[in-house]
Amino acid sequence: MLDITAYCHMIMTEAEKHYLFNIGRNIAKLRRSKGFSQLDICIQIDMEKSNLSSIENGRQNFTALTLKKIADAIGVDVHHFFQIHLIDSKGI
């Protein structure tokens, strides 16, 4: 049986997958720059670590509320997740 996350990821275009990947990389980069582990954030926002990992790796679509919770826990504004300049030439 295919779970809904895997199914949704299969029907996304490459551009959509790339978009989620870039946002996820920004989340991870900002989280690490503030000295937080994934577990630190997950404890604060009551999220499974595997879900945050999936978001940071572009494998999971997310809601606006989830982004707000992550941003609040990290201590940044949500708009920082969407800034292209945070992604270096290696995509991380």
Chain-centroid distance, C-alpha 51:
9
* CB contact set of 19 (below 8 Å; sequence gap of 6+): none
Residue 89 main-chain phi, psi, to 5 deg: -65, -20
Tell me, yes or no, whether 46 lies in a domain. yes
Domain residues for 23?
4-86
Tell me, yes or no, whether 91 lies in a domain. no
Max Cα–Cα distance, the chain, nearest Å: 39
Tell me, yes or no, whether 43 lies in a domain. yes
Tell me, yes or no, whether 65 lies in a domain. yes
Confidence of residue 89 (pLDDT cuts 50, 70, 90): very low
Tell me, yes or no, whether 92 lies in a domain. no
Residue range 25-81, pLDDT digits in tens: 999 999 999 999 999 999 999 999 999 999 999 999 999 999 999 999 999 999 999
Tell me, yes or no, whether 13 lies in a domain. yes
- The CATH number given to whatever domain includes residue 31 is 1.10.260.40
Q: Round to whole Å and give the CA distance between 77 and 16.
A: 22
pTM over 0.85: no
Number of domains in the chain: 1
